[in-house]
Chains A and B, each alone.
Chain A
Amino acid sequence: MGSSVANTEPILKVRDLVKDFGGLRAVDHCTLDVYPGRITGLIGPNGAGKTTLFNLISGALAPTGGRVFFQSRGSGPMTDITGMAMHRTFGLGLVRTFQIPREMKRMTVLENLMLVPAGQRGERIWASWFTPWRVARQEREIEARALEALGFVKLSHLADELAANISTGQKKLLELARTLMSEPKLVLLDEPTAGVNRTLMAQLSLSIHLASAQRGVTFLIIDHDMDVLMSLCDPVIVMANGAVISQGTPSQVQADPQVIDAYLGGRQPVGQPGGNLGVA
């Protein structure tokens, strides 16, 4: 294990996870742990299976084999979330974003956030008809939370703008705010900084750092930007050909010859089925 991983129990355990798309094995006996309170980076060349892994963990896809466990209570036995529907993993506190932002275009930025809190009274149609005052009271609380989350990612000035009309970088910030609205335990961010200009990227990194430091949110982040990874993430996990090939501190994995091979296409194959080569 990487030097900095503490002796705590993991919040997420992925065990021997496999996903086949027809003849293509996208995730190949992948095994990894994510520890609470940390910002774990997940890197690897294109096609390494990172996004598929996110889809399997969050429940957007059902795996071909293997298991996923999530610590939803803080301690005690972990919950087996293998193949659980996305809205249910969300309910346990596991939230994900998308590589290409999936904002609700014809809804305002604020509405995009107000959507998120679970179990809203007014989500039952009878309540909206027969106890509208109670719904309205809860709506005011939710609106205050949404405005606070917007302030956290510095988007307050866009609250009333349609989400379709904001920039790509702002959409990434909106996605981050969306995950924070749910008071998550673990957030999976899929390339939060891709397509984001330098100014907004600094803003994003800061927001992620603050969410981790102040709110104790655990992050698992796919990214390609080395600056972000070096400054934000510890440990970093490296995937290639659907399996984990290396993990450790950012400088450790950067120095790992297997990682360099994977990126530069040296010796083949890098990952063997069932193995976790290079785990220090």
Chain B
Amino acid sequence: MEFAGILDYAVGFVVMAGIYSVLALGLNVQWGFTGLFNIGIAGFFALGAYTSALLTGPPPQGQFEDFVFGGDWAQTGGLGLGIDLWFFLGIGAAMLVCAAVALVIGYVTLRLNDDYLAIATLGIAESVRLFFLNEKWAANGSRGLYNIPQFLEGWIAPDKYDYLYVVVVLGVLAVLFLAMQQAVRSPWGRVLRAIREDEVAAEASGKDVSKFKLQAFVLGAVIMGVGGALYAHNIRFLSPQTFDPLLATFIIWAMLMVGGSGNNVGAVLGAFVVWGIWTGTQFMPGVFKDPNFRFFMIGALIVGVMLLRPGGILGESRRTARGRTAAARPPETGDGG
């Protein structure tokens, strides 16, 4: 490959890794800081993607498309400002839908602990996927949605679109990253970490634990919805297969574990590392490019990182009294007596 080709590939890679970074940031709020074991990321990923795609994309056309609603905001929703404002409206709608669904789900399930919450969220994510698969009227079933519009389409040659979209993705990622850094370093984040460490003790310190858990769950889901919307307008095609647990939940967990749970930089780093391995291994020769082997590689990476650095590559950073930061080691076993 000559240089331009490599650059094209690299930019496309950063777009996808950036989108996965957003999803990993969302999971980090829930698991990394609050200890909420959500293995239904795919559900919010899908809701965000479908919401924005259905609202901004065209209504059904031709005999192979059959769904009840296409908002066509890309054509009609620009508000006449000459810039593609619909894109942000789509993201906003994705956030609202994810917030509403997470609020209901969270209210019901957050009384559950650990593994029970995990089963519940997994079940809900599969329900979302199967809804879009079986209810063809909603989003064209397994045939999926095509022609999802792109932000500022036509400003740049279609084969170079990644060069534009990478700026958009990194911009959104930067805003979310800064917002999350600010949030988790605030007293709000301190309460979340206290809940993660010991729910009962947090309650005994006067904190309304269920309220904070719900806030963290909803915020995480909203960020996942943003990731979904960014994904939809990048790939331009959605089908329920996109959101199978392996590539829409498991790999995001892998990213957070590898990068460093409880560390926003770690979440982004993990997304780039794991996505790099996942996409890089497809160039391996022979049997090694088999998807099963590639997943095995990611599994092996997780095992390796957990053995060598249980807190992930970066681990959780902590703030000391006078604002200095230091890498926090995982707690010693026992009481540290």
Contact = CB atoms under 8 A, between A and B. Distances in A.
A112 to B, nearest CB: 8
B183 interface: yes
A87 B209 contact: yes
A265 B326 CA distance: 54
A122 to B, nearest CB: 3
B193 A128 contact: no
Given A106-B316, A110-B321, A164-B332, A87 B201 contact: no
Contact of B187 (A87, A120, A160, A162): A120
A139 B190 CA distance: 12
A45 to B, nearest CB: 25
Nearest to A160: B320
Interface in A150-196: 159-160, 162, 164-168, 171, 178, 182
A1 interface: no
A91 B204 CA distance: 10
Contacts of B188: 122-125, 128
Centre residue among A116, A147, A164 by max chain B CB count within 10 A: A164
Contacts of B336: 164-167
B76 to A, nearest CB: 32
Name the interface size band of chain B: 35 or more
B318 A106 contact: yes
Given A91-B206, A167-B336, A171-B335, A103 B321 contact: no
Interface stretch (A26-34, A94-102, A210-218): A94-102
Given A115-B205, A115-B207, 18 more contacts: A60-B200, A60-B204, A87-B203, A101-B335, A104-B198, A104-B202, A106-B316, A108-B321, A116-B205, A120-B187, A123-B191, A128-B189, A142-B187, A147-B321, A159-B320, A160-B321, A160-B324, A164-B331
19 contacts: A101-B335, A106-B196, A106-B262, A106-B318, A107-B193, A108-B319, A108-B321, A115-B207, A122-B188, A125-B188, A127-B186, A128-B185, A128-B188, A132-B182, A159-B321, A160-B320, A164-B331, A164-B332, A168-B337
Interface of B: 179, 182-183, 185-191, 193-194, 196-198, 200-209, 215, 219, 262, 316, 318-321, 324, 326, 328-332, 335-337
